[in-house]
Structure 1
Amino acid sequence: MIIYETHVAPEWVDYNGHMNDAEYARVFSLACEALIGTIGLDEAGREHYGYTIYTLETHLCYRREAHQGQALNVNMTLLDSDAKRLHVFFAMLDDENNLLATSEQMLMGMQQASGRPSPFPLLVASRVAELPQANQNAWPELAGRTIGIRR
């Protein structure tokens, strides 16, 4: 499911001539906002429910360089969810379907007034259930990775 599309802006290009690492994070953050809107928690939904989403953890993997003006398409797959959390996997692709980067994220639903975790409102939960979900035995290759120096 393509959740977000954009192009590499000139101001995102660093002294190495490609998109700066922080800008990959920006694109994935915007893709996450698009996901949040898809499940009904855009500005109006947040106001209506008094509910929002926080990012608890993010793991970025850089696979290829992106250059100024290049098209970026971000796919989203739901790896897992429960009553108040989403474990999502984003893949950033170019127009030729080359994998540029991935971002695995753990998101938590929060009541805005208390700032405490809380189950998704019913309509939001039903939209979460409609998201494309990876089979537990067929997660994307880069999902679930840990960071470390291999010895």
Structure 2
Amino acid sequence: MEQSFSYQGTVLHEWVDYNGHMNDAEYNKAFSQATDAFIDHIGLDERTREVYDYTVYTLETHICYMQEMHEGDTFTIKGQILDVDAKRIHLFLTMFNEQGETVATLEEMLMGIDRKEGRGAAFPGEVADKLAVMLETDEQHERPKQAGRTIGIRKK
């Protein structure tokens, strides 16, 4: 069963660093582009954001790097909604290489924002409905092992 959202891209020349692989900041850029596509996918494209005077902010992110990507490599980012409430989305994105191997993950918390008020606000009705359907689909998938991780040095 497929997840409810996916995004495709290619590692650009300018994304490669002095080590010859995709720079860590560029993974974030690719995930950010996927998040923007996800926001459009749930019904908050540019026109709808204008109509409702509504947008989405990122509150928190956590990236895990597993494998290197190189110039010209193509990737697919698949999204899995882990949770939703009236104004927040707990989203997990996984980047796969051409071989279908996981190369990086990003966990993030997004919040819907009323631009007139400048604060968090409930998702417009049709967006909330779409998120509910997507969550129902995504909950059928196993929770990613990287979800909920904290950074720290394990003591032996």
Q: Distance in 1 between matches of 2:133 and 2:51?
A: 21
Unaligned runs of 5+ in 1: none
Residue aligning to 2:120? 117
**Aligned-residue CA RMSD (Å):** 1.2
1:55 to 53, 58, 63: 58
Map of 1:8 onto structure 2:
11
TM-score (normalised: structure 1): 0.96
Q: Quote the residue 1:97 is aligned against.
A: 100
State how far apart, in whole Å, the 2-side matches of 1:110 and 1:119 are. 8
Identical aligned residues as a percent: 49
> Is residue 140 from structure 1 mapped to residue 144 from structure 2 by the alignment?
yes
Deviation string, structure 1 residues 50-93 (Cα, Å, up to 9, x no partner): 11100000000000000000011000000001010000000000
- 2:132 and 2:67 map into 1 onto residues whose CA distance is 32
TM-score (structure 2 length as normaliser):
0.93
Matched residue count: 150
Cα drift, residue 135 of structure 1: 4.9
Alignment of 1:80 with 2:83, yes or no, is: yes
* Counterpart residue type for residue 44 of structure 2: L
Partners of 2:52 and 2:41 lie apart in 1 by: 15
Following superposition, the deviation at residue 130 of structure 1 comes to 2.1
Offset from partner CA, 1:74-116 (integer Å, 9 cap, x none): 0000000101000000000011111110000000000011111
Secondary structure at the counterpart of residue 25 of structure 1: helix
Equivalent of 1:31, from 31, 34, 47?
34
